[in-house]
Amino acid sequence: MRRELAEWAQQAHDLNQRHAAGLIPVDRATLRYEHHRDPQDALRVRLRELAGSRVRYGYRRLTVMLKREGWKVNAKRIYRLYIEEGLIVRTHTRKQRAQRQRVALGQASAINQRWSMDFVAQRLADGRWSRVLTVVDQIHPRVSDAPCRHGALRRQSRGCARQGCVTPRRTEVDHRGQRD
């Protein structure tokens, strides 16, 4: 960073190396240094080709593939080139996507053809939460075969045989928290 800044000051203000190095605290040897490292253009091109064809592969897997092709490389070099070329694969987990196209469901035309279920939660007067799984028929929204707390099924006409058993019923809650 300082080297680039000193080179810019040299060119912009027509300074020599000594004055630029004094203006921006950088050693003059740093300004004179020339890189001797091979840019490895052929390896970069091949790495970009492999990363383009195998989009989800990371640098380690690409290193294995390059070694199989006969390149004399190690993971550290490939990682450096991988970062410089901007080939980084997203590392955070994504939501699972459907493997096939989604098909719109047809409309239900009779009772018991399609059911919907969801969890409903409500805070009680004493501060505890009450959470219930609701299962509702799409055509006939009344709960027809919901189990009571004793495990007996509630039919449309009769309830549980035990005295005082409360069977679940569908209630709507408006935006203010008031029940119907």
pLDDT digits (tens, 9 = 90+) for 99-143: 666 667 777 778 778 888 888 888 888 989 888 888 888 776 654
The pLDDT of residue 165 is: 52
User: Which pair of tokens denotes residue 13?
Assistant: 């203000």
Cα separation, 27 vs 150, whole angstroms: 85
pLDDT at 155: 45
Q: Please check whether residue 23 is in contact with residue 9, taking contact to mean a CB–CB distance below 8 angstroms.
A: yes
pLDDT at 10 over 50: yes
Phi first, then psi, for residue 44 (nearest 5°) are: -60, -45
The residues spanned by each domain of the chain are 2-32, 41-84, 111-174
The three state secondary structure string of the chain is CHHHHHHHHHHHHCCCHHHHHHHCCCCHHHHHCCCCCCCCHHHHHHHHHHHHHCCCCCHHHHHHHHHHCCCCCCHHHHHHHHHHCCCCCCCCCCCCCCCCCCCCCCCCCCCCCCEEEEEEEEECCCCCEEEEEEEEECCCCCCCCCECCCCCECCCCCCCCCCCCCCCCCCCECCCCCEC
Per-residue pLDDT at 61:
94
144-161 confidence digits (pLDDT tens): 445 555 554 444 444 455
* Structure tokens belonging to residue 174: 């408006």
